[in-house]
Amino acid sequence: MKHVFRSSIAALSLLGVAVIPATAGAAKPIKAPATVSVKGTTFVKVTAANNKSYQGPGPYHVGITTFDLAVKPTTLTPAGYTTKVDCWYPTLAVGSSSIYNMSSWLPAPIAFIVKNNPAAKDIATYPTSGIAKAPFAPGKFPLVEFSHGYGGFRDQSAAITAHLASWGFVVCAPDHLGRNLTAQLDPTVSLTPPTTDPNADVNDLATLQAQIAASKVPVLKGHVDATRVVALGHSAGGSASERFASYAASLNAKGTFLKGWIGMAGMSKLNWSQTIAPYNTIPTQPGYVISGDQDITVPTSSLQTAFSGLTARSTMTVLTAAGHNVFSDICVIGAGSGGILAIAKALNVSVPDNLANLATDGCKTPNRPVLDDLGVIGQITVAAARAMNGQDVGRPTTTGLVAGYPGLVSSTTRVSGGVVTGE
């Protein structure tokens, strides 16, 4: 356990996320950073941003909170359902990082085996890099909504979500009950799913934004500007972030809360012919696509084809020798014990082949260690989210990445009106 935990701490430290150690006695809070207010929204003040400014830790420590979200009904799910949401946010507090355990997303029979096995009880853990229930830092911060991947869970990319929070964003991630880890490991879930809506993930994001905007989430009330939202997603969540942009664009003026979207190893354009309105139009908001050039699950070539069809000015960056899970914690969880599949095998937990292949994409040779890329992913996501909210415009925060991150970035291209240009 100590080896696994230390590996996790090292992973977050390389990204620059502040993993706060336990402190003896009362500790003074950190000093509030310099900020600017844009129509009441708080942004970290950065006077000379460049393509290295956001790879390291932000000036805030990070808090984390969990709440239940009652998702609004749809035609396919007239009763609605309730899911859990985790939110990372800026804090000035000092404290210990909370830990999540993957057993929280295991079906009940499997979770029972894990929780009652002394050797496995704590092994599949990872730090959230958030101090549980810490007080918010002063200010009202822009919102990032994170959508996890197929077979994933809301905390699956804690290194990235916490990093964004350290730079002054509130990052909220719902569990998508129709495609999370629980649903993929338990065949009975598919018999009585909480929803059969193929766009339930977008509905989760839309409901979350609406409830925060209406001050119906008490723990976030007064701390979040839900008129400034960026959608961020991994894999199927990357598709959800883009379909959320399509949905928001269909609302016309009422959808201007969504300032942009970021898809990590996922994009929906290739499946638009199978998607119904209002989720099947080319987004009008700027987008950012990130891909690993050795991704087997969602090949870079497919993303490049989809990317070329965007009309709003957007960017695509390809990471060198990176696979599908470079954007999640999956490759690091349980690494000291052979990884999550080795843990599952030791417990006689059956993992479907498709999920097993997905879980290891990007975790082994010839892929470069995922920890190598955390800095550049942190730079891209923070810089893009700030730019989409009108900060650092015209500054080279996502240009020159090939030269700035030698051996880590293969290419960066831009598109506008279907015309693709290189750097």
Give the pLDDT confidence score for residue 338 in this predicted structure.
66
In contact, 270 and 302? CB cutoff 8 Å: yes
Mean pLDDT (whole number) for 37-43: 97
Query: How many angstroms separate the CA atoms of 371 and 100, rounded?
Result: 19
Query: How many angstroms separate the CA atoms of 320 and 370, rounded?
Result: 11
Confidence of residue 192 (pLDDT cuts 50, 70, 90): confident
Relative orientation angle of helices 158-166 and 374-388, to the nearest 10 degrees: 50
5 compared with 129, residue with greater pLDDT: 129
Mean pLDDT (whole number) for 299-314: 92
Q: pLDDT tens for residues 229-254? A: 999 999 999 999 999 999 999 999 99
Give the pLDDT confidence score for residue 20 in this predicted structure.
47
Q: pLDDT tens for residues 94-118? A: 999 999 887 788 777 677 666 677 6
Window from 20-34, 57-71, 197-211 with minimum mean pLDDT: 20-34
Confidence of residue 121 (pLDDT cuts 50, 70, 90): low
Q: pLDDT tens for residues 392-404? A: 988 899 999 999 9
19 compared with 63, residue with greater pLDDT: 63
Confidence of residue 14 (pLDDT cuts 50, 70, 90): very low
In contact, 86 and 111? CB cutoff 8 Å: no
Q: Is the pLDDT of residue 336 over 50?
A: yes
User: CA of 98: how far to CAs of 133, 141, 201, 228, 354, in Å?
Assistant: 10, 22, 26, 28, 31
Q: Which of 10-24, 260-274, 281-295 has the highest mean pLDDT?
A: 281-295
Strand order in the sheet with 131-132: 131-132, 61-71, 81-91, 170-174, 141-147, 224-234, 258-264, 287-292, 314-319, 409-416, 419-422
Confidence of residue 7 (pLDDT cuts 50, 70, 90): very low
Query: How many angstroms separate the CA atoms of 314 and 369, rounded?
Result: 28
Nearest 5°: the CA angle 169, 175, 176 is 120
**Could you tell me the CATH superfamily of domain 2-18+51-422?**
Alpha/Beta hydrolase fold, catalytic domain (3.40.50.1820)
298 compared with 187, residue with greater pLDDT: 298
Query: How many angstroms separate the CA atoms of 260 and 242, rounded?
Result: 9
Q: Is the pLDDT of residue 174 over 80?
A: yes
Query: How many angstroms separate the CA atoms of 131 and 17, rounded?
Result: 12
Confidence of residue 2 (pLDDT cuts 50, 70, 90): very low
Other CB atoms within 10 A of residue 146 CB: 31
Residue 110 CB partners (closer than 8 Å, separation 6+): 185, 186, 347, 349
Residue 275 CB partners (closer than 8 Å, separation 6+): 198, 199, 243, 268
Mean pLDDT of the chain: 88
Domain boundaries, the chain: 2-18+51-422
406 compared with 112, residue with greater pLDDT: 406
Q: What is the pTM of this model?
A: 0.93
